[in-house]
A and B are shown apart, each in its own frame.
Chain A
């Protein structure tokens, strides 16, 4: 495994399986009365959040604290960042504080790559612009594996705003690494022009794909995309690409429904689908802590050997 976790492409199949297996063991910790492990005592994890994302920040914070790391939350609002301090100066500040890991959420694609060139600690990408969100993909894969077993040959359908989705990018990379067959479904306007070079299938027709899906993952669709003419109206989007009860009925009996949150109920997913037993949406949140514990442990739990862990 590499020193940083910036892209799901950083993970080999063995790396990914190691993280998921580690998370399997760590999941037991959250069932105990004492949920804390001493493993990262004395290590400092900085949560550097340039975008509001309370869910993701809390998830990383809980993961780091359960491993006994010291956690420093650094949010852009009200800090020197909002007064015009550059990302580089912020990085140098964190470096001076001795951050062993920096968990970064940033609105600009590639910001974690840049950060990694300025700090010695591990950089964990908690979502960068419209690029990637690798720990989300890991927790999704973890959730699928718990429900379905091995992902080899599993048919996974990801529906929605692929063009702007960091969740979709990371999931396509990770799930294909794990041997799953991914199909992306969206209106043509919400695919990148070169999506045919990705390791997945694409389709414009949700109804055709549903009966062959073991997993259907719905992506959040931002309403403002409508104003940029990516689709005509919310109603039309929902009708063609929303997951409602009728569409769920066309899925195989064992198939599950996922959503990375936050959801637009009634837009990409009907409320009754989100709350159904097939939905893993609440599990995904719990699994997020476990998976992030595994990532932090594997990045920080060993000797500092210049990046390589074995």
Chain B
């Protein structure tokens, strides 16, 4: 295994500069990792974290600066160079072959002891040993497709340990895990650092950063804007360093009057993409002026629920009633006409046409209604007026209305979608992962907009994997697990530990409600 003493400097990135056309992605960034520590790289989308790590992993070449491993300057021009130098990376999207077993995936790309022939026996043996040492329970003979996301991640980590990396980069590793799985992961990671490895942890979840890191480096707009340790800082300070100004992490709640039911779902069953049940016997009600949160680890039927409610996916059985009208299996268009808006989870796939201009996307849902459309022709003056009004009101940062939407940042595309969806003051809003992948500033703004809509009496169904978000915004929180609602908690009684248990599928003793 690695034979380094803790505290030795494993890696130094010295004055790394990377220029993209029009953008300085990294501006003289210094970063180092000692053995036995977790050094967090914190920053918003576009701050340059990924660029820096891609340079380290050989996917990009730096324009300036030096990479040193254990004091020796190295050139890393491809991922295989990086792997040879003992650098491993766990990507946000797992790099596993689903149709192969765990052992086969681990052995992939490594020389076999029997030359041309595959010999997995030693691989299996070693996987079992490593599983025991690091608490990574995985059966080497399971197929990847049979594994849950948490288990797949363990395989990724096993792969890295198997290759005996001394430095491991983890890119947003917790985004698919339940709170309990996050705890397990952190335990494994600490175990790894005790063995002398150095870890780079990339995250934007502030409480995780505070919990795991030994040191924290904050990047903003390509520059290092802060170096600190959890003991010396707070979540608020970190957010300040990331954004460059004071940020409110929890949205301000105002009073709102809860009125009549806007959305009633009874006994809903929905079939998922693979033909298996995705939503099972689901009941939920959302009334005007309230936010009902749906918490849960992704892939537990939230997406299918939102799609069924908005008419994009057929309902197998059960009923959906919106504003007194039965909308079960109605078309998206008919449902929209009932003053329903939907912020989709996948904003690039469902929410916008990337090649269209900002203006075209802003009128996408109203394109066939007057005043946008007159006798079958588009009224470009109206489009411009509507567009510039929305861009201003929702502070969408775009050079022009004709700019193709694909060139906006994630946060601004999300603002564009929200601008369009809220422009008609909907009576019911289905918001799926409204702030996923957007920067703190935009998330803060989106939260305040949602709270504003709530105060105006909009019924909001908020589907989110971000527990902080659900707990900050929702009046009631329903937890989804394997297509079912495990329980509904009032805002006051919802704690991370109670929600976490429900998210893991543990039923509560039946005393609440």
Do they bind each other? no
Taking Cβ atoms with an 8 Å cutoff, the residues of A that contact B are none
